[in-house]
Structure 1
Amino acid sequence: MSSSYTGGCDHVHIKATAEPIDNHVCHCNVCKSVTGQQTTHVAFFNHGDLLVDHPEKMNRQPFNKDNPDGPLELCTCADCGAALMLDDKQKRIRVAVPNVMGYNVATFPDPTYHAFYDTSKGYAEPSDGRPVYEGLRPEFVWPKPE
């Protein structure tokens, strides 16, 4: 498959070999903190479907500073510091944030729903016609670890 989902930086290239298994607009506080964005377009891939050409050039740090032992790690380029992907230590998923991680945003399908929306955050509920959930979409099933 010639992937339309390629990202990364000049030193580390990321390529998807399949379609995302989940594609949403995230409203969580961790994404806000890491990206500096009010909302973030996030695409989950099965762990083996997002390939890295130079994993030895990636630095890893906890994605959630308040849960440093959590399953997700933010991978950045050891040479230039670019954000590359989120990697699941349990090897279930890898995550692309198209507008932050060097992807052509136009090649990604539009997000299908809003995740982690919380009425207590003080901003209006999204009204773009996509479903809005307090977590991931109810039918989402975490893939088995590789």
Structure 2
Amino acid sequence: MAELNGGCAHVHTHAKAGPIDNHVCHCNVCKGVTGQQTTHVAFFNYADLEVDHPEKLKRVPFNKDNPDGPLEICLCTDCGVAIMLDDKQHRIRVAVPNVMGYDDANFPKATYHAFYDTSKGYAKPDDGRPVYEGLRPDFVWPKGA
């Protein structure tokens, strides 16, 4: 596995293992947060994505329409850079390689497309990767803490 390190000059993340899910996301929440039509998203088991200065993280809801939902965006309190998504249930931590300081060129490539539906108004992806209306059918959420 290539070194998977992200973050900013003040807060660093390091993956101890590869992602348990790695997809191109088409959901409206990711669009709203990143401003991108699609977003490369990688889920890690919670303990596999370490952060060196958790005390320097400002936490904000990931989904503005569900502010009490399980995911929070963690921002560096020094520079405001997005560091990771953190799961309040301690199931996963999430990296968005091109937004969260990773070497996107050396990050494992997404294996499928998630949350695509025909109402998005653009053509269904045809890059050879499977396309699903949600997460891949065999994905199982890890147990939380």
TM-score in same-fold range (> 0.5): yes
What is the CA distance between 1:24 and its match in structure 2? 0.2
TM-score (norm 2): 0.98
**Residue identity matched to 1:128:** D
- Other-structure match for 1:115: 114
Checking the alignment, whether the CA contact within 8 Å between 2:2 and 2:106 is kept in structure 1 is no
Correspondence for 2:34: 35
1:3 is displaced (CA, Å) by: 6.0
Residue ranges of structure 1 left out of the alignment (5+ in a row): none
Structure 2 unmatched runs, 5+: none
Cα deviation 1:63-93 (Å, max 9, x = unaligned):
0000000000000000100000000000000
- 1:145 corresponds in structure 2 to 144
Task: Give the Å deviation of 1:34.
Answer: 0.4
Could you tell me how far 1:53 is from its partner in structure 2?
A: 0.4
1:3 & 1:13 partners in 2: Cα distance? 16
State how many pairs are aligned: 145
**What's the TM-score once normalised by structure 1's chain length?**
0.97
4+ runs deviating over 4 angstroms: none
What is the 5 A alignment of 1:1-146? 4-146=3-145
Q: Among the aligned pairs, what percent are the same residue?
A: 77
Structure 1 contact 3–15 (Cα < 8 Å) conserved: no
Question: What's the secondary structure of 2:14's corresponding residue?
Answer: strand
Tell me how large the CA RMSD over aligned residues is: 1.0
Shift of 1:106: 1.6
- The question of whether the paired residues in 2 share the 8 Å contact of 1:3 and 1:17 is answered with no
Asked whether the 8 Å contact 2:62–2:71 carries over to 1, the reply is yes
